[in-house]
Amino acid sequence: MHSKEEIYYCQPVFRPPSEAYSLLIQLTEGCTFKCDFCMSNLRKQFLVRDVKLVKKDLDIARKQYGPNVKRIFFLDGNAMVTPTEKLLEVTKYAYTLFPKLERCGVYAHSKDILKKTDEQLEMLSKAGLKIAYVGFESGSDRLLEIVHKHANKSDHINAAKKLMKASITLSATFINGLSGGNNPESSKEHALESADLVNNICPDDDRNWYIAFLTLMIPSGTEIFRKKVKGEFQEMNSLEILQELKNFINQIDFHNQSAICIFRSNHASNYLPIKGILDREKDKILSTINYGLTHKNILRPEFYRGL
C-alpha cells in the first residue's frame, strides 16, 4: 500500500488573512529577524529549503488540487530573503504547473527588498511574484528601534518605492498600540510618523496598494511578553488604541487624489472592524472610529481578539 504523499509544512505557519484560500508552500522556515512582538521565529531555525523539495511540494499540490490553483503564498516569515535565482525558479515552476495562477506572494522585511536590485525585483515581478506583505509596524524611528525591527522609516519608504517601481503590489502592516499604554506623546508620535510614511509612499497613479493596522497582541515567549511580565511594558486600552488610529487617519494627506490605498483595520486583533479607501474615504473612516470611541459596548471583547 502506498502512503499518501503530503505537502511539507514546518508548523506553526503564519500567512496573511488575504491568503486564506491560497496554496501555501514552505519555501523558507522561520525568519532571519527577531522583532520583540513576533512569534514567527520562536522555535524555528531559519533556513531556505532545497529548491528540489519545494518543487516536489508543488508537484504534490498539482496532483491533489488539480491545475486550477489561482494563488500561491510562499511561507515563511520573510521568504523574500530567498536568493533571487531560487525564488525565480520556484515561481516560474509554479506557473508551469498551474496555468491559471494569478499571483505568488511572500512576506518581506524592508531590508530583504532593499537587498535586491531593481532588475531582480523586475524579474521576480515578471515571473509572477506579484504581492509582498511588508511589516512596517511604525513610521517612528524611535519605536522601530525599541522593538528591534532592524529597519527605519526611510528603509520602509525606499522598500515601498522599489516594490512599486517593479509593479509588485505592496501590502503593509502597522501595529496599533505598539508604543504602549499611559504614554500619549509616544502614541501620537507613532500615529503621526506612520501617517507621514504612508503619505510619502503614495504613488502618482491609481494602482491598488494596501495598508492595514493590526492591534498589538502579546504572545507568550516573545520579548514584549517578557517586558510586560517585568512591568516594563503596559498595554493600551481599547479607547487609547482607537484614539491612536484616529490620529493616524487625521494626518493622511495624499498628493494624488486618484490614489487607491485600500485601508483595513479589520483583523481578528482589532477592536473595531474598519475599512475604506484612503484618503478619499477619510471622513467615513473617521466617523466609524468616532462611533467606536463613544460606544465602547460595540468593541470586540478582549477574549475574542487573536492573531
Ligand X SMILES: C[S@@+](CC[C@H](N)C(=O)[O-])C[C@H]1O[C@@H](n2cnc3c(N)ncnc32)[C@H](O)[C@@H]1O
Q: Which amino acid is at 220?
A: S
Nearer to ligand SF4, 35 or 285 (CB): 35
264 three-class SS:
strand
- d(C-alpha 171, C-alpha 103), whole Å: 14
Nearer to ligand X, 196 or 223 (CB): 223
Residue count at the site for ligand SF4 (CB under 6 A)? 11
34 makes contact with ligand SF4 (CB under 6 A): yes
137 makes contact with ligand X (CB under 6 A): yes
Identify which of 59, 78, 82, 56 has the alpha carbon closest to the alpha carbon of residue 69. 59
- d(C-alpha 203, C-alpha 230), whole Å: 43
Task: Choose the stretch contacting ligand SF4; rule: CB under 6 A; options: 34-42, 179-187, 247-255, 281-289.
Answer: 34-42
130 makes contact with ligand X (CB under 6 A): no
* Shortest Cβ 218–ligand X spacing (Å): 7
* Shortest Cβ 75–ligand X spacing (Å): 10
> How is residue 236 annotated by DSSP?
P
What does the block give as the cell for 284? Answer: 467615513
Nearer to ligand SF4, 34 or 188 (CB): 34
Residue whose cell numbers read 511604525: 138
Task: Choose the stretch contacting ligand X; rule: CB under 6 A; options: 86-94, 118-126, 131-139, 190-198.
Answer: 131-139
* Shortest Cβ 169–ligand X spacing (Å): 15
* Binding positions for ligand X, 77-96, rule CB under 6 A: 77-78
172 in Cβ contact with 210 (< 8 Å):
yes
- Could you tell me where the DSSP H helices lie in the chain? 51-65, 84-97, 110-114, 118-127, 141-146, 153-165, 184-201, 223-229, 238-251, 282-294
111 makes contact with ligand SF4 (CB under 6 A): no
277 in Cβ contact with 222 (< 8 Å):
no
Instruction: Identify the helix (H) or strand (E) that includes residue 71.
Output: strand 71-75
* Shortest Cβ 212–ligand X spacing (Å): 8
Q: How many other C-beta atoms are found inside a 10 Å radius of the C-beta of residue 266? A: 15
171 makes contact with ligand X (CB under 6 A): no
Residue count at the site for ligand X (CB under 6 A)? 22
Nearer to ligand SF4, 16 or 181 (CB): 16
150 in Cβ contact with 111 (< 8 Å):
yes
What does the block give as the cell for 80? Answer: 523574500
216 makes contact with ligand X (CB under 6 A): yes
* Binding positions for ligand SF4, 125-164, rule CB under 6 A: 135
Nearer to ligand SF4, 116 or 252 (CB): 116
Chain residues that interact with ligand X, rule: CB under 6 A: 14, 31, 37-38, 40, 77-78, 107-109, 133-135, 137, 173, 175, 214, 216-217, 219, 269, 307
